[in-house]
Amino acid sequence: MPALTLDALRRHALARSLSRPTTLPRALARLGFVQADPLRAPARAQDLTLRHRVRDYRAGDLERRYPKLGVEEDFFLNYGFVTPTVHRLMHPRTPQTAWTPTRWRQAHAVAEFVRARGVVHPRDVDEAFAHGRTTNWFGGTSRASTELLDGMHYRGLLRVARREGGTRLYAAREAMPPPDDPKAAFDTLVDVVLGVYAPVPWRCFTKLVMDLRGGVPQWIDARREAIARAGERLPGAVVDGERWVWPAGENPASRRWAEPEGVHLLAPFDPVVWDRVRFERFWGWAYRFEAYTPAAKRVRGHYALPLLWQGQVIGWGNLGVADQRLTVDLGYVSGRAPTGAAWRAALDHELDRMHRFLGLP
């Protein structure tokens, strides 16, 4: 096998994540976790992520097909969609914030209401219980019933049955016993994390495992032991002075890893670009998500999509929809676009794919 280099690691990362598109169920099973985000610019992050990995994917397909896919909305590293296996391994979940007896009484009453109704809209719960309003985490106000439903969902008392106009509709969730072997369960979750974002520098991998405190707060004190076990069982190597790690059974130096062809406009949370440390090691510049940055301080735009071409992220694109037409504003790290017929054809093809994905004329 050829020597392992940073270029080989980059090819490995691209090839394993942007492999041949498949069906939606298979893509979800392959990923294990897809991060969600409510912003549409020009579509939600989960749709922008899946369009590269699912044949003929259209914006909103995940939400439309969700009830029959067998996946779950849940919190893992962040909020998103997880496979049933990942979902089961994270529950029963014991949050770090304990509820008061009064809050538990409210939760049990709502749970009985949901079981009787089957599927409920938060509006139905608010009308039935009149919980009032509360201050939310970003300083505004929201219905207390919505906050209670969020907490019940997080604790595994409810599941998201489907969405209606973007709003989560809830159904009862049957309680499941804890895993027989918590260490093995945690190691499996660690492998899922690595499978989504590999190969990664060891320092980034350890941070990812530590970030599982949100998905499995009941095992918060077991994270360092899980990292130690991972260091013993997972393959890795030192490349350019930094230790890297990847899933068992894979060889980043193998010639079978081929970079994806064409142009890819990637979501800000796409696994290829999610880890900003790895991004800078691979492509030599800093990408930042600026949707929540004041407009005057933005460098690349509100929702800049990293622009991948021939194995390199050469720039970014801010895309939108106005009067049923796609608006495109591209920027380049070098200050100018590539030249040549191959580039123009590849970019046109990607923008045509984006048109179809968004259902535009």
pLDDT per residue as tens digits for the range 285-334: 999 999 999 999 999 999 999 999 999 999 999 999 999 999 999 999 99
Mean pLDDT of 145-171: 95
> Check: CATH 1.10.760 for 101-172?
no
What is the rounded average pLDDT for all residues in the chain?
94
The band of 130, judged by pLDDT with boundaries at 50, 70 and 90, is confident
Instruction: Give the model's pLDDT for residue 271.
Output: 98
Q: How far apart are CA 239 and CA 6, in angstroms?
A: 7
Residues 255-294: pLDDT tens digits? 899 999 999 999 999 999 999 999 999 999 999 999 999 9
Instruction: Give the model's pLDDT for residue 140.
Output: 47
Q: Rounded to 5 degrees, what angle do the CA atoms 152, 157, 159 make?
A: 90
Instruction: Give the model's pLDDT for residue 2.
Output: 63
* Domain range summary for the chain, segments of one domain joined by +: 101-172, 263-358
Mean pLDDT of 328-354: 97
Q: How far apart are CA 23 and CA 226, in angstroms?
A: 33
Cβ atoms of residues 234 and 194 within 8 Å? yes
Tell me if residue 292 falls in helix, strand or coil. coil
Cβ atoms of residues 27 and 50 within 8 Å? yes
The band of 134, judged by pLDDT with boundaries at 50, 70 and 90, is low
Dihedral sign of CA atoms 348, 349, 352, 354 in order:
negative
Q: Rounded to 5 degrees, what angle do the CA atoms 276, 253, 268 make?
A: 20
How does DSSP classify residue 180? S
